[in-house]
Structure 1
């Protein structure tokens, strides 16, 4: 399809998609990534595109950026950027447009940033590639951008490598790179998915403030209607490559007409204001009792005067009864994941006790603890990274029990039964991890943890990166399994809405310490700690309606 100017384009439309169809390779589950998609992004507005994984959101954004993989091609339609059809433009013309006219914030800043270049070099490179300024003026512009996006100590951040920054700081670097050439259109692909609620609120406010100040047009891709209610002017809802509903944010969020939109909104977790019904478990000693647990990270040298100490877990104490779920919530860096690693003895504590079923395991030697390890299992945050890509699901599930003396035939039958229990068919046993979706891989991770019939299950951000509908399914699955087996759970999350749905009691951590503890109704409706109040106030879609916010239907 040849490029060219399109006459009659509306003056207030910055980006227009007309009948866009993107073909997938043969033998895929469907023929097209998106089919006959049309929508407008108006000047100075924020358009949210929402849908589950595989709905076609990100591939549509990549088509606008000219970043489609070779296996996906434009089969039909137009992409009108400032009135010009960019479909079929040569690569050099697309490079001129990319960054100057339209720019993109990617979902995972850690993989999008070059680990071998400093932050300053990466922002400078955006300017240099487009021939902007001298090295001195580019440095000044980079420092100005780092300041604009709210990064602390811009001079120091300029010299840092991405791994030294937090997730929220890396996302701010990505925003600085996207804004470097002051484009008229900004595409943000799930920029807040894996961030804690306070960092997410900061990034949303930053994008909204920059959009208003520069009168930019923003295409914001997300799967969370709570985020949509915070920032959207208009909404496009996609399912399996097609648009099922679109309109103003007020109309779509308050009076959704399509059943799929209604299901997505219904799946958004909310603060319930109620406590979880207790399991009928006979009273007994706590399954887990933590007393004064300590862990300090040290870096640098005392001799050179560069010693730095961070108390990741500082005098943490709690207990967990049989069949109960204890939620651990807090921002990134609060010590949640460090606590989970200590509980599983994946690293040693500096002090305190971890009493599991009456035995202190904190100082127990590894050979002695090995017999107890099957009784404490973990569901990891990223199932893609925690499942061996070279092993079949059957091997992944059976290798542990077989290593601990279970006959293979017995382990195989147990694995097949568990796969069925977590909602996967029998054929999953002989397939590989890459053949499953993110939600299915997380179900496999749960099945693997249950192979040992554990007494304690530690779930570390087990649903943080999943679509809200898949998230709801996984939470229900965990709840059902707990009620069937009586397993106790430590549920670590930065999403307070999720914690309110599945936890019997919640512990709030801040800088390694517990600042508040109580039942969900007390924590979320009547928090005593100022820090907890800040966390609750930052939850998207949960603050009192007003100030430009849109309430969700129901």
Structure 2
């Protein structure tokens, strides 16, 4: 498709300016010299109509968030708008002085950021932060702002607003923090709301709640919403129109139904094809000669305690409550459930990053639960973990080569051998030879996750624990990582515990799935049972909450579904 054909100015019918809340025309944003391309976005044009939801979709690096930040006037100094215009309510905001842009933020256009924990001030209570938003624009008195804050907390569905007002962000769940961000964004009743990947790291039920909340607020207040996502399931759930971006350019746009059902550009078709679906088919298992399970967990318990009984502030949370299961050699067990169900705590117990309060963890028949750190040190190379956030788990001051070799060298391997094996593994996970001498920040999210997998394989482990290893990745990169894990398992026979909140992903890679709720396993079985014939009401609730899709026995490449109205 030619770029000239993509331009909105040439391809879309003219619309009355009163019907357009946001108009972007021929916008080009330049990147600093030395980057992989000259422009973050290049000559993009689109309209956001009043009272509608426009979804911008594309892989990491496609320019989605840069476009949103340009609209908000939040581009970093090293990135500048080279040409084009952005009209908010008919006014071009390109070149406006900072004080004028500040007056528009929150009042005319507001933004929900991707990571609410990073966007919220950890030293201020929820109430203070929403109050500050209104106070910065000179709205109301302290008492009226407090009343408005409590009203907003109620509107976004947070429990007990009077208590929530005084809570700090770290005390809230991911879904609750995202609701606080939505409340802040709505404080001044803007006409345009920008949501940048607001549901990426949330479990399916919380994601469904947030999507429903945004849609309901948009309809009730007649707002226009620019929704940025990489999940076509989300697009099917809420979008009126869709803009597809690739490497800074718009390659396709149109109504949600047209783009989902009849995509015209090969890139759009690839993105839709990469979306995992509930196939309803069980995985062809890896053949193993071992008869005994490699891992057997019996009655595992972990309880978190905070506060003191003396002051009446003690809080007891049973994170893992009597969990039992076994894992045959060469098989993959999926652990699924909502945030707070105990999935990640279970994973950390298995690798002894947490000490358990009871139960047994039998690895190759030996109970490792009671081992001291020194005793477990000899076992640790056989049990490795792939972490959720590869950037946070990789030392930013070390090269990839050092990150991969330091562990094996500490366990007695010569540096020459470790270096040779590290280079071979990097090639095996699809990275070039130069990756060995580069730093983590020089890689994309998908590449960093490949580094995390290669590092875990340096010890030739018998058990891999993957904790939300693909949750924040684009669907195409996600599909590559899942294929890589399947390939590695079939080549090495490694056993895998795959922790995820995305049931579609679990159906692709797991031989068996355990569903956790409030620290307990409430159902366990093959994907065909869990997704097509769930026995637990909780499992049925999880399956029903998957955006844009209901379980079926046959998958469809482009069957993302109609928008729910």
TM range (shorter): over 0.9
For 1:8 and 1:335, how far apart are their aligned partners in 2?
A: 51
- Please give the secondary structure, in 2, of the residue aligned with 1:211: helix
For 2:561 and 2:323, how far apart are their aligned partners in 1?
A: 40
**Kept in 1: contact 2:125–2:169 (CA 8 A):** yes
What's the counterpart of residue 406 of structure 1? 413
1:470 equivalenced with 2:477 (yes/no) = yes
1:20 equivalenced with 2:27 (yes/no) = yes
- Please give the secondary structure, in 2, of the residue aligned with 1:453: coil
- Please give the secondary structure, in 1, of the residue aligned with 2:17: coil
1:100 equivalenced with 2:104 (yes/no) = no
What's the counterpart of residue 382 of structure 2? 375
Q: Deviations over 1:348-374 (max 9, x none)?
A: 111110000110001112211111110
For 2:508 and 2:391, how far apart are their aligned partners in 1?
A: 25
What's the counterpart of residue 197 of structure 2? 190
1:47 equivalenced with 2:60 (yes/no) = no
1:117 equivalenced with 2:119 (yes/no) = no
**Kept in 1: contact 2:400–2:437 (CA 8 A):** yes
For 1:551 and 1:183, how far apart are their aligned partners in 2?
A: 34
Within 5 Å, which residues of 2 pair with 1:72-221? Answer: 72-221=79-228
For 2:408 and 2:290, how far apart are their aligned partners in 1?
A: 30
RMSD: 1.3
For 1:28 and 1:210, how far apart are their aligned partners in 2?
A: 39
What's the counterpart of residue 271 of structure 1? 278
What's the counterpart of residue 315 of structure 2? 308
For 2:518 and 2:177, how far apart are their aligned partners in 1?
A: 20
1:298 equivalenced with 2:281 (yes/no) = no
Say if 1:450 and 1:536 are closer, same or farther in 2 by CA, change over 3 A: same
Say if 1:226 and 1:28 are closer, same or farther in 2 by CA, change over 3 A: same
What's the counterpart of residue 490 of structure 2? 483
For 1:128 and 1:350, how far apart are their aligned partners in 2?
A: 48
For 1:511 and 1:386, how far apart are their aligned partners in 2?
A: 27
Q: 1:331 aligns with which of 322, 326, 338?
A: 338
For 2:415 and 2:101, how far apart are their aligned partners in 1?
A: 56
Q: Deviations over 1:479-501 (max 9, x none)?
A: 00000000000000000000000
Q: Deviations over 1:48-95 (max 9, x none)?
A: 000000000000000000001111111110101111111000111111
What's the counterpart of residue 510 of structure 2? 503
- Please give the secondary structure, in 2, of the residue aligned with 1:462: coil
Q: 1:552 aligns with which of 545, 552, 560?
A: 560
For 1:369 and 1:100, how far apart are their aligned partners in 2?
A: 56
**Kept in 1: contact 2:280–2:551 (CA 8 A):** no
Q: 2:371 aligns with which of 350, 364, 372?
A: 364
Most deviating of 510-519 and 9-18: 9-18
What's the counterpart of residue 4 of structure 1? none
For 1:46 and 1:194, how far apart are their aligned partners in 2?
A: 21
Q: Deviations over 1:138-158 (max 9, x none)?
A: 000000000000000000000
Size of the aligned set, in residue pairs, is 544
What's the counterpart of residue 10 of structure 2? none
For 2:174 and 2:367, how far apart are their aligned partners in 1?
A: 35
- Please give the secondary structure, in 1, of the residue aligned with 2:323: strand
What's the counterpart of residue 493 of structure 1? 500
Q: Which runs of 5+ in 1 are unaligned?
A: 1-6
TM-score by length of 2: 0.95
For 2:101 and 2:269, how far apart are their aligned partners in 1?
A: 38
For 1:278 and 1:449, how far apart are their aligned partners in 2?
A: 22
Q: 2:431 aligns with which of 414, 424, 434?
A: 424
For 1:537 and 1:34, how far apart are their aligned partners in 2?
A: 37
Cα offset, 1:9, TM superposition: 5.6
What's the counterpart of residue 454 of structure 1? 461
Moved over 3 A (4+): none
Cα offset, 1:551, TM superposition: 4.6
What's the counterpart of residue 241 of structure 1? 248
What's the counterpart of residue 6 of structure 2? none
Cα offset, 1:510, TM superposition: 0.2
TM-score by length of 1: 0.97
Cα offset, 1:306, TM superposition: 2.2
Q: 1:36 aligns with which of 43, 47, 53?
A: 43
For 1:157 and 1:325, how far apart are their aligned partners in 2?
A: 40
What's the counterpart of residue 293 of structure 2? 286
For 2:125 and 2:290, how far apart are their aligned partners in 1?
A: 56
For 1:553 and 1:116, how far apart are their aligned partners in 2?
A: 43
Q: Which runs of 5+ in 2 are unaligned?
A: 1-13, 553-557
What's the counterpart of residue 395 of structure 2? 388
Cα offset, 1:542, TM superposition: 1.2
**Kept in 2: contact 1:9–1:83 (CA 8 A):** no
Q: Deviations over 1:305-338 (max 9, x none)?
A: 2222111000000000010000000000000011
Cα offset, 1:279, TM superposition: 1.1
For 2:541 and 2:411, how far apart are their aligned partners in 1?
A: 46
Cα offset, 1:10, TM superposition: 2.1
- Please give the secondary structure, in 2, of the residue aligned with 1:11: helix
1:66 equivalenced with 2:66 (yes/no) = no
1:257 equivalenced with 2:281 (yes/no) = no
**Kept in 1: contact 2:426–2:432 (CA 8 A):** yes
- Please give the secondary structure, in 2, of the residue aligned with 1:270: coil
What's the counterpart of residue 549 of structure 2? 542
Q: 1:10 aligns with which of 17, 38, 57?
A: 17
For 2:526 and 2:281, how far apart are their aligned partners in 1?
A: 9
Q: Deviations over 1:284-324 (max 9, x none)?
A: 11000000001111111122222221110000000000100
Q: Deviations over 1:216-272 (max 9, x none)?
A: 000000000000000000000000000000000010000000000000000001111
For 2:415 and 2:527, how far apart are their aligned partners in 1?
A: 43
